[in-house]
Structure 1
Amino acid sequence: MINKIIEKINDLSKNFDEVKIMHVCGSHEHTICKYGIREVLPKNIKLIPGPGCPVCVTTQKEIDTAIYLAKKGYVITTLGDLYRVPGSYESLQSISKDYDIRIVYSVSDAVKMAKKERDKKFVYVAIGFETTAPTTASELLNLDLDNFFILNCHRQTPPIMEFLLENTKLDAFICPGHVSAITGLKPYYTLLEKYRVPLIVSGFEGIDVLLSILMILKQLYKNEIKVENEYKRVVKEEGNVIAQKIINEVFESEDKEWRGFPKIKNGGYKLKEKYKKFDIFENEDIPKMKEKIPKGCICDKILRGEKLPTDCPLFGKVCNPFNPVGSCMVSDEGTCRIFYKYKKFNF
C-alpha cells in the first residue's frame, strides 16, 4: 500500500513545478525524519517543518521571567523539556542548585505540591497548545489556593497557521492531529475560506503522512480545495467538546508573541477575570525582560519554515542535545533535536 501511495505521489507530482507543504507538529516531523519520507518524495514536493513544538515557541522572555521568579523565592514547577531551554543568560536547569526548581509531569503535580507546602509560593510554567490548555483549565476551575499561580505560556495553533499563510508562500498545510482532536475541523474552514489551500488533518504513522500528501496533490490537481480529515480514527468533526468547554470557561483569546514571530493576533490565551487571581503577573511586580538571542542561532528562521536545522552553522557542533544553544534542540518535539537524532551523520 505504501509503495502504491508513493507511486501515485510521483505520478501526480509531474503536474507541478513545486508544491510547498508545511506542518506545525513535532510528532509529524518525527515521522517524516524517522521513516525518511522526504527522501522518497519527488524533489519538487517540499515538506516544511513549522512552529510545531510548544517548548520551542516559548519565548526567552518567558524563560527569563520564570528564572526571575525563582530568584524571588517562588518554587518553579515545569515540564522536563522546558527545564533545559536556555533563557537569555541562564536556564532553569543552570540555576537549580541554588533555587527551588521542580520538574513535574503535569499541572496536577504542581497543585498537589502547593497544597502540601502551604508555606511556599508555587508557580507552574503553563506551556502548550490546545492539547494541554484543558489540563491547566481543569485544575483552576474549582481551585481554592492562595499560594499557587501560573506563568501562562499557552498558545493557539490556528492563528499561527493563518499568520504563516498570510506571510509565507505555501501551497498546503498538514494540520496537527493532536490539536485537531481537541479543536475539531471548524478552525480550518475559516482558513480555507480565506486562503484556499488544501488543509489535511493527518495521523502520525508514516502511511498517514504519505496519504495526506497524496490527498493534497489530488486536491491541487483537480482544483477541489477543501478541508479533509485523514485521521478519522481519532479526530472528529466537532472535536472534543468537553475540553473546548473547559478551555472557554477559564481562558479567552489574546494576542501573543511566539519565539521567532511578532505578536500573533489571538495567538494565545489569557485567564478570564474570575481566574486572574492565579496569574502571576497579577500578583507580582515583574520587570520587562530584555531578551538576548544567541549569536549564530537560527531557531527563529527554523520555526518560521525559512531554514532547516542543517542550514545552521551551530547544528551538531556547538549546538547539540547535551549543550543546546537554541530552544529547537532541547525538546523531543523540536526540529533541531529531531534532525540531530535521525540525520546527525548526514550533514
Structure 2
Amino acid sequence: MKYVDEFREPEKAEVLRREIEKLCLQLNKHIKIMEVCGGHTHSIFKYGIEEILPDSLELIHGPGCPVCVMPKGRLDDAIAISQNPNVILATFGDTMRVPGSHTSLLQARATGADIRMVYSPLDSLQIAKDKPDKEIVFFALGFETTAPSTSLTILQAAAEKIPNFSMFCNHVLVIPALQALLDNPDLQLDGFVGPGHVSIVIGTEPYEFISQKYHKPIVVSGFEPLDILQSIWMLLKQLVENRCEVENQYNRLVEKAGNQVALTAMNQVFTVRENFDWRGLGEIPDSGLKIREKYAQFDAELKFTLPNLKVADHKACQCGEILKGVLKPWECKVFGTACTPETPIGTCMVSSEGACAAYYKYGRFSNIMTQKLTDKQTVTLSP
C-alpha cells in the first residue's frame, strides 16, 4: 500500500455498492454478516458503509473488542493490584475509564493509586528499570494482536533479569469465541468479515473450521472502506455460488500461515487457560492465555493476592447481548441517555473499539437517541 487514498476512492466504492446490490437481489433473502473486529465496526460507521448497503443486508457487530469482553471481576482485580502502595500499574488508555464494581482505574488514580498510561508493554518495562524500588505491573489484555508484544516484553525482562516487573495477563483468543458464537442457537449468521489485525498474527488457516464444520464463509478484511466493501462482495459472491470458504481480502498484510516470529514468542511465554470468563459470552474453554510456569516470576496473579470474584454486569446495561450480536447498541434501554461516553455504564461505550462508542461517536442513530430523550425514558440505575 503506497497511498491510503486508493482505498477510499468514491468511484470504486460505487462500483462495489452496485455489485453488492446485484448479489443481494440474486439471493432474494435477508442476509446477516458479522464483522468480528471492533476496528471494522468503527470503520463501517466512520465512513457510512452501512448506510449505502441494501436493506436486505444486515451487519452484526461481534465480540472483537478486547476491552469490551473483559469481565468486570478481572478489572476489579487490576484495581486491587493498583491499591498496593508499592505498586505502579501500567495500562493502555482504553482501560482507564472502564467501570468496575465500585470504581474505575481513572477514579482509583484520582484517589492516590499510581496508575500510568503507556503505549507499549515495553514502556512499562522501562518504568521498572527507572523505579527499582517499586513493583511494576502491566495490565496486559487483547487478542492475538497484542499478545506477541506482551510475550516479547516478558522475554526481555527475563533476559535482563528485571526482578520488580510482572504482568496481569488477560489475553484472549479469537477462535474459541467464534466457535461459541456459532454454537449459539439465538444467532443465525450467513458469514463473517474476519478480523484483520488478529489474522496478521495467526494467519487464515485457523478459520478453516468455520467453513468445514459450520458451513459458513469468512473473508479476512482490511480496515479501509474499499477493503470492507470488497470483503462483503466476496462473501455475497460465495453465498450466490453456494460456496463456503476462507478467503483473504487483506493479502497485502495477512499470510495463510501467519507471523511465525510472533507465534513462536507467544508459544514460548504463554499457555492456554482451561477456561476464561468473557463478558456476554460467559465461560469459554481454552479461550484465554496465561503465563507459563517457566516465567512465573513475571506473573502478577502469583505475586499478588487478588479478589478473583465473578461480578455481574449492571442490571441496566445490555453490553453482553450487544457483544453476542443479539442486540444493536441503540436497542439497549440506556444507550445515549443514561449511558454515554462521559457517563459510561458498560464497556462497549468506553472502548475505542466498542460498538456503542461507534454508534454514538458517528451519530448514525441520532434520530433514535433524540426520540429516547423526547420520551424521557427513566431507568433504574441501581447495580
Superposition TM-score tier, normalisation by shorter sequence: over 0.9
Give the one of 312, 331, 340 matched to 2:332.
Answer: 312
Which amino acid in structure 2 is aligned with residue 160 of structure 1?
A
TM-score using structure 1 length: 0.97
In 1, distance between residues paired with 2:151 and 2:118? 17
Q: What residue in structure 2 maps to residue 321 of structure 1? A: 341
Asked if 1:35 corresponds to 2:56, the answer is no
CA deviations over 1:142-184 (Å, ceiling 9, x no partner)? 4222211111110111111111111131110110011111111
Match in the other structure for 2:374: none
Letter in 2 for 1:268: G
Gaps of 5+ in 2: 1-11, 369-383
AA paired with 1:288? N
Verify: 1:77 aligned to 2:90, yes or no.
Answer: yes
Hey, what does 1:63 align to over in structure 2? Answer: 75
Aligned partner of 2:298 in structure 1 is 278
**In the TM superposition, what are the counterparts of 1:242-281 in structure 2 within 5 Å?**
242-254=261-273, 255-281=275-301
For 1:165, the equivalent position in structure 2 comes to 182
1:260 Cα deviation after fit? 1.2
Cα separation, 2, equivalents of 1:142 and 1:310: 45
Alpha carbons 1:252, 1:270 under 8 Å: kept: yes
The letter for the 2-side match of 1:54 is P
Is the partner of 1:317 in helix, strand or coil?
coil
- CA distance in 1: counterparts of 2:66 and 2:215, whole angstroms: 27
Name the amino acid aligned to 1:240. Answer: N
Partner of 1:141: 155
Indicate if the aligned counterparts of 2:180 and 2:281 stay in contact, CA closer than 8 A: no
Identity %: 43
Q: SS of the counterpart of 1:150?
A: strand
Confirm or deny: 8 A CA contact 2:141 2:169 kept in the other structure. Answer: yes
Letter in 2 for 1:224: R
Match of 2:373 in 1: none
- 1:46-92 deviations in Å (ceiling 9; x for gaps): 10011111111111111100111122332211111101110011001
Q: What pairs up with 1:112-123 in 2 under 5 angstroms?
A: 112-123=126-137
TM-score under structure 2 length normalisation = 0.88
1:4 is aligned to 15
Query: Which residue of structure 2 lines up, in the alignment, with residue 175 of structure 1?
Result: 194
Residue type of the alignment partner of 1:320: T
Aligned-residue Cα RMSD (Å) equals: 1.3
What letter is aligned with 1:187? Answer: P
For residues 176 and 16 of structure 1, the distance between their equivalents in structure 2, rounded to whole angstroms, comes to 27
SS of the residue 2:33 aligns to: strand
Report whether the alignment pairs 1:224 with 2:237: no
SS of 2:106's equivalent in the other structure is coil
Q: Is contact 1:110–1:124 with CA below 8 Å preserved after alignment?
A: yes
Which consecutive aligned stretches of 4+ in structure 1 deviate over 6 angstroms post-superposition?
Answer: none
Contact 2:70 2:279 in 1 (8 A): yes
Amino acid at match of 2:170: C
Alpha-carbon distance, 1:31 to partner: 1.5
Name 1:346's counterpart in structure 2. Answer: 367
SS of residue matched to 1:95 = helix
**Partner of residue 191 from structure 1, selected from 200, 210, 216:** 210
* Equivalent residues, number: 347
The one-letter code sitting in structure 1 at the alignment partner of 2:367 is N
CA distance in 2, matches of 1:211, 1:49: 18
Q: CA deviation at 1:290?
A: 4.2
Answer yes or no: is the 8 Å Cα contact 1:123–1:149 preserved in 2.
yes
CA contact (8 A) 1:89 1:292 kept: no
- Correspondent of 2:107 among 84, 94, 103: 94
- Secondary structure of the equivalent of 2:333? coil
- Unaligned segments of structure 1, at least 5 residues: none
Cα distance, 1:16 vs structure 2 = 3.3
Helix, strand or coil for the counterpart of 1:30? Answer: helix
Higher mean Cα deviation, 12-21 or 80-89?
A: 12-21
Matched position secondary structure for 1:346: helix
Residues 129 and 154, structure 1, Cα contact 8 Å, conserved in 2: yes
Q: Name the structure 1 match of 2:226.
A: 207
Checking the alignment, whether the CA contact within 8 Å between 1:32 and 1:38 is kept in structure 2 is yes
**Residue 127 of structure 1 corresponds to which residue in structure 2?**
141
Match of 2:172 among 139, 150, 155: 155
Indicate whether 1:49 and 2:68 are aligned: no
Distance, in Å, in 1 between the alignment partners of 2:239 and 2:304 is: 52
